[in-house]
Structure 1
């Protein structure tokens, strides 16, 4: 099965390609357009993996799982509830989550599936939406949780979730045709302890519904990511602890929360 990745070579250049066992078949052009194999190969151990795409925005959903809605006492929404995370918040596998210098409060993890958009998408129907999904990836949607309601007059979702390094994405993009989200679980480990293990089949809005409805609110561009929301088991991270988000068929994404410097 195909897995698309982006990488930084030992020479410092950035490339992309298809992961094949322990090597990378390099491509040129546009991952979401005219990607062509170069014939060159690289050993996986000789490169640094980057976030597998460079989104212009991350659309992050809230209350999109029945189990969490029940736990919180919330009714299922009639339209996806979301916020926008900036591109500067995106990091890849094994990159550190940096604690904001001016913030000493709790930082939370949320293990999630990410939808990667493959082509410009605006006002599409649910029936059309599948063809705009390039593939799927793992996300850790990080939150400076004590900032959310710091001002009682305004919930600061974008500020709390938009810090640099607060959108961990990777390690690969699994193409839509190669991934059955209905059969998959999201598992999140904090250090060695499993904290989340929930079925994606419990989603309130399916990936196609999310793409369709969100595209009616804004144009989605190639490489944009929809973080589909999380379920039960969200918790806080101590400085120096690692969070690993794993989804069968995609892989595992690990990042460590670094202390302020």
Structure 2
């Protein structure tokens, strides 16, 4: 399968930090009528939306609380291994609502393509990106699309949108998508534009021999803000040891990449 607000600043920093800040400006008035994709086939749409948005919840605390789910911890531990990254085929799990959260394997379509199980009970997924030559070790446009089309919409119907998440585990870092918006986004016809922009940006890195993880993160955050630009869509870099969301600051006087960002009402915070 091929996903933070981001802030890029120039500043001298003397220490690294782990920070998880989140702000919200409240719930918009009723009457929201988002347009979606009636097909629901994952090819570039959404659903028909809803009228009364839920108050957004703090995604930072949701991620931290998630660590208490033994099933979640077990699946992350199972996937976060060098032996998994060296395989030829991606693998992963979908999380489903039930008396307790159930984890089911994602269906393998090709070596680099997985599919969510059918049904509306699945609110999250966890998967790996492999250590193949030229592999992009962060979310792909398809990953982001699946999260917004399936996970967030299913969570709205069966639970709460703040339950939804997508996680990609790589040898160079673990990342998680969350959503704290009101659900008023439209996906119809967007995917091809996302993919074209994403492929072009990363091809430039590969051709210029600059495919470092720092550059991968930087380009991805630009892609989220400039190309996808959905209010409330957040990506977190997850600490491999603690499992907490983090902001990593370097200690030199140069451009600082905040690997956690929020886009809320189209404002970086």
- TM band (smaller chain): under 0.3
TM-score w.r.t. the length of structure 1 is 0.24
TM-score w.r.t. the length of structure 2 is 0.23
Q: Which has the higher helix share?
A: 2
